[in-house]
Amino acid sequence: MATKPPTADIDESRVHVTRPKKVAVGVPAVLHALEMANEQMGVTRSVQTLLQVNQKDGFDCPGCAWPEEDRRHVAEFCENGAKAVAEEATLRRVEPEFFASHSLDELRAHDDWWLGQQGRLTHPMMLDEGASHYRPISWDDALRLIADELRSLDDPDEAVFYTSGRTSNEAAFLYQLLVRGIGTNNLPDCSNMCHESSGSALTETIGIGKGTVSIEDIHEADLLIVAGQNPGTNHPRMLSALEKAKQRGATIIAVNPLPEAGLMRFENPQTVRGVAFGGTKLADEFVQIRLGGDQALFQAIGKHLLEAEAAEGGVLDAEFIATHTSGFEAYRQAMTDAPWREFVAATGLPEKALRRVGEAVRASKATIVCWAMGLTQHKHSVPMLRDVVNMLLLQGNIGRAGAGVCPVRGHSNVQGDRTVGIYEKPSAAFLDALDREFGFAAPREHGYDTVEAIRAMRDGRVRFFMGMGGNFVSATPDTAVVEAGMARVGLTVQVSTKLNRSHVVTGRRALILPTLGRTDRDRRGGREQRVTVEDSMGAVHASRGRLAPPSEELLSEVAIVSRLSALVFGTSAGASGARPDAPAAPPAGGGATRHDRGYPERSPREEARTDGPDPAGVGHPSNVPLADWAALEADYALIRSHIARVIPGFEDYEERIDKGRTLHLPNGPRDARRFATADGKARFTVNPLVYPVIPRGRLLLQTLRSHDQYNTTIYGKDDRYRGIRGGRRVVLVNEKDIVALGFAEDDIVDLVSEWTRPDGTVEERRAEEFRIVAYRTPRGNAAAYYPETNVLVPLDSVADVSGTPTSKSVVVRLEARP
């Protein structure tokens, strides 16, 4: 029997600290996962649900985006996957009576863990301006209210539409079509805050913003460098792939400021060796690098390879460099001129250690570099990742078996959402194809990314905000600024499965629209529907929920977007089939022009544009997309047929995902060493070395997840592998730094971030009451959990080029509590 939700927040006075673990998973992980599943779902429901996770006829795990192998285990889930499923398939419910008995002020006073533990949302809810409580509202009234609000805007760019990585390809494609039909590209998403730096660096250097490896490549690699990533907590199923590579003779090097149990030893609970014989040692070497020093490491490896080539020859792949790359000579000269002492200063590692890593790369026949947010959330993240590519290009480690770049994504469909159009800076090719398919003129002006959207809310330039999944308020940087900006918005709409901080920090009016989750059966149009998702390695497969929804009031995300689009645009019957290459007619059945919807025919942004030829090449497109929204809601296959005609690589979409098969999207660098760059070649780049310089008496803080957490969803109170139990407001600090700063372990301090603006002004932000924990981290570095420390990350402190918040390099001081 499932337990009831908690009645109190986490009691931080009960934090208990033990020694960090040196081994991950094993029987304790299985028992912990089953305990949490039983708490939320009960025994029978847990067994029925977990056996469907990541199966070909089941549903995709709502946790991470690590890919499945073609041959799957009967229990194809990890500890955190089980927690994610338990959270979504919980028997706990948040019904209208809950909101009647809990005022908004009361809910705001609770922590994120308590809010998330209350259960599944069951009914649409409305918060009227000035009201103290949410009240029930019908779907028709809720969607009509949104449509009316959108029509009342003076400019479509006053609306912001956020997306989390949980949204399916089908829902995301319709969502971006709705937004572009309204007339804006304001489509910020969670990618902006995590892997945008990866996309920026990879697009520039190899012509695609994704990784270039498959799961089979992981198994076949000779050397795997896992940098700025903690797979034991964030992507535990990755450990099985690393174990397989290790058993085939691979070398694994872990690069991280913190020692992580999952990269030390892995006890695979699905094998006898893992349960009874101590498991598998994974990392052959742990490179404990200073925060922000990774660029220097990869430059040092490159310099070592170039020196070895000059001394003995045969180290570099000269044919690959000559045939498939450009910019090599400039890169070689830059590395020749780079002094080793700078690499030592940046990394905190002796030259001998740097050369040892370089020698492992030199000896490797096939190298993969895997990374996550530890590399992407610094001001210099994009040049850092360019230098990862530089190092791999030297030996031809792009486009051959067992080699390549492997950015490991977080949310289970964050990569798929971007593929199908959730992007504030869409390509002209995508927009042209969208115009041809739906007979309208999509806006070309770039929209707001996440940080730009927050700035616009702060400045009062946003009147409408809609979040398709996720927890925008808790996930974003500079919490106080976000909350103040959100309060200035006229109407905020959250499409959600569970209660979170974004439901209690709202605009003047607010809507909660409860939706189906991955585990829920989705029956529309007289049949059970399936959706699709894309994993970290460009593989697309179907997902079909099996559980009865927690309420008959729930709509799928597809249904919500379809019904809202019909209200905004009108319905065009018969428009969901293949579109002829002919001039498009205005939508039938009451379709509204932009003027009819209350917008000026041209927005202020558009007034500044120069009129040119019709971008779609279809005559005179209407101002709204031509689609039969009711038909799309009733049959998701029709949405996939649109996707197949708009986005290359999705041809024969339906047939290729049928019966559990996987659709592998084309990847030019991986498939044919084809690079969609300006000169058609992979690009060596020259990047000045950058690394943080920490002021005296200060620490450089990285924000990170606990083990009982995924992104902003907090499953429990513990970080078992790091030895933290019962609480979250802790800061991990080197023992010598604790003494040098005049503190003792267990002292309670405030964390005060210090950020110097370009004009020299120093801004401070404060996070209160954190317990100091002595931990094995480099001198000058510290770590603490988000979202509690997001308040410390300055809104305007972002990565160059990508605009990603610098959550892994926050200068802080520890301040004693009065």
Whether the bond into 407 is cis, omega within 30 of 0: no
Q: What pLDDT, on the 0 to 100 scale, is given for residue 623?
A: 80
Q: What pLDDT, on the 0 to 100 scale, is given for residue 276?
A: 65
- Dist. CA 732–CA 725, nearest whole Å: 14
CATH of segment(s) 94-193+430-647:
3.40.50.740
Structure tokens belonging to residue 159: 């609306």
Q: What pLDDT, on the 0 to 100 scale, is given for residue 57?
A: 76
Q: What pLDDT, on the 0 to 100 scale, is given for residue 135?
A: 98
pLDDT higher than 90, residue 739: yes
Residues 59, 13 contacting (CB under 8 angstroms): no
pLDDT-derived band of residue 71, with 50, 70 and 90 as boundaries?
low
**Which of 61-70, 543-552, 697-706 has the highest average model confidence (pLDDT)?**
697-706
Q: What pLDDT, on the 0 to 100 scale, is given for residue 702?
A: 98
Give the Cα-Cα-Cα angle 344, 348, 349 (nearest 5 degrees). Answer: 65
Cα distances from 149 to residues 312, 461, 589, in angstroms, run: 70, 15, 22
Give the Cα-Cα-Cα angle 163, 165, 169 (nearest 5 degrees). Answer: 85
Residues 721, 256 contacting (CB under 8 angstroms): no
What kind and span of H or E run contains 299?
helix 294-312
pLDDT per residue over 634-688, tens digit each?
999 999 999 999 999 999 999 999 977 889 999 999 999 999 999 999 999 999 9
pLDDT per residue over 515-534, tens digit each?
999 999 999 989 999 999 99
Structure tokens belonging to residue 669: 């660098």
pLDDT higher than 80, residue 7: yes
Percent of the chain whose predicted confidence (pLDDT) is above 90: 77
Structure tokens belonging to residue 181: 């039909």
pLDDT higher than 90, residue 83: no
Residue spans per domain, the chain:
12-93, 94-193+430-647, 201-408, 699-816
pLDDT higher than 90, residue 621: no
Q: What pLDDT, on the 0 to 100 scale, is given for residue 476?
A: 97
pLDDT-derived band of residue 75, with 50, 70 and 90 as boundaries?
low
- Dist. CA 709–CA 716, nearest whole Å: 7
pLDDT higher than 80, residue 740: yes
* Topology at the third CATH level for domain 201-408: Dimethylsulfoxide Reductase; domain 2 (3.40.228)
pLDDT higher than 50, residue 589: no
pLDDT higher than 90, residue 115: yes
pLDDT per residue over 593-610, tens digit each?
444 444 544 444 444 333
Cα distances from 106 to residues 8, 15, 99, 130, 499, in angstroms, run: 12, 25, 10, 15, 14
- Per CATH, 94-193+430-647 and 201-408 having the same topology is answered no
To which residue do tokens 């949980």 refer?
166
pLDDT higher than 90, residue 818: no
Which of 453, 488, 484, 447 minimizes the C-alpha distance to 467? 453
Residue at 480: amino acid letter: A
What kind and span of H or E run contains 219?
helix 215-220
Mean pLDDT (the chain, rounded)? 90
pLDDT higher than 90, residue 39: no
Structure tokens belonging to residue 295: 């660029």
Residues 543, 527 contacting (CB under 8 angstroms): no
Q: What pLDDT, on the 0 to 100 scale, is given for residue 2?
A: 81
- Dist. CA 488–CA 457, nearest whole Å: 7
Which of 746, 730, 791, 785 minimizes the C-alpha distance to 766? 791
Structure tokens belonging to residue 736: 């010598």
Residue 694 is classified by DSSP as P
CATH of segment(s) 699-816:
2.40.40.20
Cα distances from 322 to residues 223, 316, 319, 332, 393, in angstroms, run: 24, 11, 5, 14, 11
Q: What pLDDT, on the 0 to 100 scale, is given for residue 572?
A: 62
Residue at 261: amino acid letter: A
Can you tell me the mean pLDDT for 321-346?
98
Higher pLDDT, 187 or 412: 187
Residues 40, 91 contacting (CB under 8 angstroms): yes
Q: What pLDDT, on the 0 to 100 scale, is given for residue 277?
A: 64
φ/ψ of 502, rounded to 5, equals -70, -10
pLDDT per residue over 244-303, tens digit each?
999 999 999 999 999 999 888 888 777 767 666 678 899 999 999 999 999 999 999 999
Which of 65, 194, 80 minimizes the C-alpha distance to 535? 65
Letter string b/e over residues 41-59, b meaning 16 or more CB atoms within 10 A of that residue's CB: bbeebbeebbebbbbeebb
